[in-house]
Every structure is written in C-alpha cells, then in structure tokens.
Amino acid sequence: MLIIFLILLVSRCDSFNKTGGLYLEQQCQSANNLMTLIRIIIDEMAQGSKCMVYITDNFYHRFLQKISFESPLSPPKYEIVLRDNDDFSPARVRLQMHLERSKSSSCNSYIILIANGLQASRFLEYVEGERLINTRGLFLFLHDQRLLRPQMKYIWQRIINVIFIRHYNSYKNRSGQKSSTEPIHLETVHFPPHKGKLLVTKYVDTWYHNKFIFNNQHFPEKTGDLQNKTFRVAVFTHIPAVTEESKKYCNRNSNLSNNTKALGVEFELMRIISKMKNFKADYYSPPDIETERWGTKMENQTFTGLLGEAVNKNAVFFLGDLHYTNYHLKLIDLSIPYNTECLTFLTPVSLTENSWKLLILPFRLYTWIALLCTLFIGGSAMHLFSLFYKNFISFQDCSVRSNQETVRYDKKLEMESSAEKQERMKGLYLFAEPQNSILYTYSMLLQVSVPTLPNAWAVRIFIGWWWIYSILVAVAYRASMTAALANPIGKITIDNLAQLVRSPISVGGWSPESKNFFLTSSDSDSQKIGKKFEITQNEEDAIERVANGTLCYYENVYLLRNARVKRQVLEQEQEKNNTEELDYLSRRNLHIMEECVVTMPVSIGMEKNSPLKPYVDIWVFIFYIYLKYKSSFCIFGNDLMFKVRRMIEAGLVQKWLSDVMEWSKITEIRQESAPEKALINLHKLHGALVALGIGYFISFLAFITEILHWKYLVLKHPQYDKYRLDEFYKSVKLFKKY
C-alpha cells in the first residue's frame, strides 16, 4: 500500500499547483509528512555516523532526491542503486566493490529503500552472509511483510538497530470526516526475538501532525540488559576451555553455583558474562560432537560438529577452544583472544637401550683408543725387554770386562750347570713370543697375576709400574660400570621441528586445517611435516599410537599434558591389576616437544555478525588487561572497576587454567617424586650375555676352522702318515712352526 501511495504521490504532487483539488492537497500533505519523517530520521542517524549508505532502486532513488539535503555537518555517503533484475547470485562486481568500499570506510548507517520486498530480503541475505555491511550499525526500512518472513528471522537476530516506517491509511473521525493526515508508526524488532516462527515487531513511536507522539528513543540500547532472556550455548569438551566436569551441566538444569570442580576457562568466562549481561545460558552438547568435534565441511557444502551448529544458526555462543583463524572468522564471530596456547607435538620417547654395549660404556671412544694403544705399547715393550735380555745382556757383560776377567767369566760360565742357567732365564718365556706378551700384559690389566715373575730385573721393574697403571685403570673402569648399571636407561626425545623432520615417525592431528597450516607455511621444515601429516579422527587411538612409537600427535600443550598423565595412570593401574610386571621399556614413553610450533590465540565463539560481540570483547579485554597490567584499571571508571572486582572475586583466567591442570600437575609431581630403583635386571646384564655370546661364537668358528683344516688340508696331504706324525710335521713346511 505504501509503495502505491508513493507512486501516486510522486506523479500527482508535481501537477498539484496547476490542477488544484482538495483530495490532491490532502495526498500531498501526507507525502510531505512522510518526507519530513524520513528526513528527520536520516538526520538523527547522521549525528553519530561516520559514513552513510543509501541503497535504493530506481523509484526510491528519485524519491530520495526530492528530500535530499546537504549540510556542513552531514557525513560522507555512498549511493547504491539496485537494478530490478538483480538477484545477487552472484552479485554484480561493481555492486560488491561499492559495498566493500563502504564497509572499509566504517559506514555505520544504512537507508535501504527497495520497492520489491523479496529483492530486499535477498539483498539482506547476501550482504549479511558475505559480511559486506556493518550489521551493528543503524538501519532504516519501509515496512514490508516480506521482510519479516520466518526465513528472515536470523537476519533480525543480527540486525537489531533497525526502524521500520509503517504508513497507515487515513481514517474517519467521529464526525465522519477523513483525517487529513495518516498516522505513521515506527517499529523495530525484539532482541532476542520471541519464540515461534512468526517475527513480531515492537512498537516505538507514532508520527502524527508533523510530530512524534511519545518522543521515545528510536534506536534504544537492546543489548545492555538482556532481561534474563535465554541464549543457547553449544559446548565442545576440550581442555583447557571446557572440562569433562561441565558435561553434567549440559542439556539439564543443574545448579552451577554449588560446583567446586574446574569447568574450564571458557565455561567460567561465560558464567561471568551471563551475570554481567543478565541472561541465562542454556548449555548443550551437539549430538555429533564426540566424533565430529569442531566439524568439517562435507561434500554437500554443509558443516558438522561445532561449526555446523554455527552455520545452522542453532546457538548464540560456542565454547570449545576455538582458534582465532581466518577459517573460523568466515563462519562465526570470535571475541578478542582471552589467552594464547602453545601448539606442539606429543612424541614417543626413544629409550637408549644400550645394555648390550655394557662392556664399552664405562669409557669414551678416545679413552678406549688410548687404552688399546697403551696395551699394545706395553705388550711390545715387555716382549722387547725379554728378547734384549735373553740375547744380548750376557754378551754385553763379557765385552765390558778386561781380558783376564773375561777368561775368568768364561770359566765360570762353563762351571755353571744347566739348572742354574735355566733359573737365570726364569719367566722370560712368558714374553718371548709377541702373542703371549700381549696376552699376559692384557691379563695384568685385568688384575690377573702372571703365572711366574721373571728374574730379569728390568722386566720386573716394568711389570711393577704396569701394575700401578692397571690398578688405576681398573678402578676407573669398575666405578664407571657401576654408575652405568645404577643409572636409569637414557632417553632420546624430539624437541624441535628439525628433529621431528629427521625422525621417521609419522605426524598427525584431528583438524584438516592443521595440515593446511603446515603445507602453506613458508618454513621448509613445516612443509615437510605437512606432507606426512595424517588426519586422525580418534584421539584415544592417536595417543595409543604415540605410546607405540608410530605417531606424533599435534594439539595444545594443556591437552597433551593431560593425555600423557592419563596414559601413565592407566599403565600404573594395569600394572597393579596384572600379576606380571609391565615391561619397563613400555612405560612413561610420552614426551611433549619443547618447541612450540605456533602460539595460537584462543577466543569465545559467537554466531555470525552477533550484536553481542562488542560487549563480549569488552569483558574479555578487561580480563586480558587485568592479567597483563593490573595497575591500569583506573582508566575504566569507578562503575566498571566495581564490576571488574566482582569478576576478580569470581575467578581469573590464570586461576582457571591452574584449576583445570591441577590434577595433571599433582599426578606428575607424585610420579617424579618416586625415585627409580637402581636394580640389576636382565636388561642391565645384557652386555655380559652379549660378550659371552660373542666369545662362544668366535670359539665355535675357530673350532669349525680347525676341523675343516684337518679334514681338507692335513688328511689329504700326500706325505700324511698317521703312524709317523712327528716326521710329517717336520717334513711339511706348512707345519714346521708347530
């Protein structure tokens, strides 16, 4: 009706001065009345606007030209004229460009006058979905029932600062005469909308006889006091945002005030915000949240999990450790970050099970090289001393005497019996051959005495000092071996991305966005990790794979710490319940990588273009400022300071984090406080068994070699005679050394 009235109005009022007539005079007066009202409302919107946007069709563009005005204080404006055939799927490039420019110019007032109500509704759906307008700005519409269809209800949950101009027909007075001026009502929407499919508008004021009847505020504050209304809050249990304890408060009316356990940082924040804004939070868990978690995009362009609840407009708030990323910002609104989380990997610990090297563990490589060199030098020196004494000492004694003394010495030697000569050379045979010299020198190094002590004093003195050297080396070796047996098995951990790239272990995580993050990174190590990144849907299976040493799991450090402690507690319970002790090498083999892959900001999620976002940001900002700069609260004023004190008394983010991780910290401290027992087991004695096995193996090879040598060389020799073996060994050159 209003559109027909305006069409007649524009076409007839121009000819009123020429033709005259009482009816046209009344119509033009009504038109001027409407023009005056629109101009007053536009003037009111312009007072607090940085920029204004006029969106009209061809007809209303001409209509606004008749009431347009310019003043020195009027803000800049954009004028967008829609075509009759625009359906916004997709929109014209020029139209989208103008809308993007208007938003980048911080325009916060929109005058939208479109004759076709269906086109206007499609335009609103398009610009709201693409975030091309500031939904928290001021809006002016002409009332059209097609804008208030049930399908448009979600739009008016996000655009709440709106005025609908509703023009009524003239009515008859008691005298029977028609009123010369039709009343014009101003209406707006309720926030939150009333339950039900139909959208009911709210009366604001009436324009009658060129004035407002009630002079009510046309754009009242609707989000200051939410008057105990109920808002749905979708919850995904994820540490540290939401704990398992919070599940009992979802989908039921449990009393949160009596709770003494940690519910999670975001759960506590939502409790405080609901008190400050005076609304009830209806917590619920989506039906597919356990399997879908945050959710993914399906082939039919729908979403699952927590993001699916946001896209389907099923809730107002979303709790679940949502990362502040561009991917999430396209689907939902995020508050300013209230905390940052370290995202890293839970890695398996590689145990240095090197007990098979027990015999060489006490000394380092260069120590062993020096020890072996000393052994060969000592054995060689012992051999040289023996040869030199045996072959040259007697002749040297004769050469230094006079001729008379020499004759006497020779006679003396002739008089010595063979027994005396043998006594003089006693013990030198031990070192006369090189292999025996090395063998007996080695036995002395192990503190095993020689069968007999040589009578040669040079050799005796050398052996004495060699014993002192052997005592020092043996004591050092035994002490180091004792320490190696007493100390626990060493561990090799992965603590940075470079080590993770070199490791053959696979990496994985739940979110596909995490894989895209690594693939699109400019760091070469991150790209390599992204190529082998696996999507793991089940967190428990992923932790089990980490414990088995086949996967490195990507998550925030709080969740990884909690998962590691749960794993350790589970293994301890299994060890208590089972009669057999769990393998030592299979326990406590989870490690959190020290290097943070990325420090990710975390926020509270809200529905797209939520009108509550500015207020939630204020309270989250207060939390953050208080934690960082506790002395700067004076800038907020006394009233806000009082509210902040109430929040401080209720709890702070750091306190909530501490409460969430309290169980994990206590359990870790208890496990660390229990010292590992230095007991000798088969793993510790592995080295002795390996040494014994090596000895058996070499001896077996030597035995087989001797058998083969006897069978294929000795028995087949043409001069072999089993009855005259002594002559055979003397005649054959190969056996002369025997």
Q: Which of 237-246, 478-487, 717-726 shows the highest mean pLDDT?
A: 237-246
Query: pLDDT tens digits, residue range 674-712?
Result: 555 556 666 667 777 778 888 889 999 999 998 998 888
Mean pLDDT is lowest, of 202-211, 454-463, 654-663, for 654-663
Stronger pLDDT, 531 or 31, i.e. the higher one: 531
Tell me if 552 sits within 8 A of 506, measured CB to CB.
yes
State the pLDDT at residue 588: 52
Q: Which of 69, 197, 189, 50 is nearest to 124 (CA)?
A: 189
State the pLDDT at residue 260: 67
Mean pLDDT is lowest, of 302-306, 355-359, 439-443, 502-506, for 355-359
Domain residue extents for the chain: 2-207, 357-486, 686-735
State the pLDDT at residue 633: 45
State the pLDDT at residue 297: 86
Share of the chain above pLDDT 90, in %: 21
Q: What is the Cα–Cα distance from 714 to 24, expressed in whole angstroms? A: 141
Q: Quickly list DSSP for 645-676.
A: HHHHHH--HHHHHHHHTHHHHHHHHHHHHSPP
Residue 413 DSSP SS3 = helix
Q: Which of 93, 35, 104 is nearest to 66 (CA)?
A: 35
Query: pLDDT tens digits, residue range 104-139?
Result: 998 999 999 998 999 999 999 999 999 999 999 999
Query: 331: which 2 tokens?
Result: 């689907």
* Residue 6 CB coordination number (10 Å): 20
State the pLDDT at residue 351: 62
Instruction: Indicate the burial class of 593 (C-beta count within 10 angstroms; 0-12, 13-18, 19 or more).
Output: buried
Mean pLDDT is lowest, of 223-237, 275-289, 347-361, 397-411, for 397-411
Q: Give the CATH superfamily of 2-207.
A: Response regulator (3.40.50.2300)
Q: What is the Cα–Cα distance from 46 to 73, expressed in whole angstroms? A: 9
Residue 319 has pLDDT above 70, yes or no: yes
Residue 66 has pLDDT above 50, yes or no: yes
Element (H, E) at 587: none
Give the model's confidence band at 634: pLDDT under 50 very low, under 70 low, under 90 confident, else very high.
very low
State the pLDDT at residue 650: 44
Mean pLDDT of the chain: 78
State the pLDDT at residue 388: 79
Give the model's confidence band at 56: pLDDT under 50 very low, under 70 low, under 90 confident, else very high.
very high
Phi and psi torsions of 242, nearest 5°: -140, 130
Q: Which of 471-475, 618-622, 725-729 shows the highest mean pLDDT?
A: 471-475
Distances from the Cα of 525 to the Cα of 26, 325, 439, 478, 497, angstroms: 79, 22, 54, 45, 7
* Residue 310 CB coordination number (10 Å): 25
State the pLDDT at residue 90: 83
Element (H, E) at 284: strand 279-284
State the pLDDT at residue 107: 92
Residue 417 DSSP SS3 = coil
Give the model's confidence band at 584: pLDDT under 50 very low, under 70 low, under 90 confident, else very high.
very low
Stronger pLDDT, 346 or 674, i.e. the higher one: 346
Mean pLDDT is lowest, of 47-56, 474-483, 592-601, for 474-483
State the pLDDT at residue 225: 84
State the pLDDT at residue 378: 85
Q: Which of 180-184, 296-300, 407-411, 551-555 shows the highest mean pLDDT?
A: 551-555
Residue 261 has pLDDT above 80, yes or no: no
Name 497's Cβ contacts closer than 8 Å, sequence gap at least 6: 523, 525, 526, 529, 595, 597
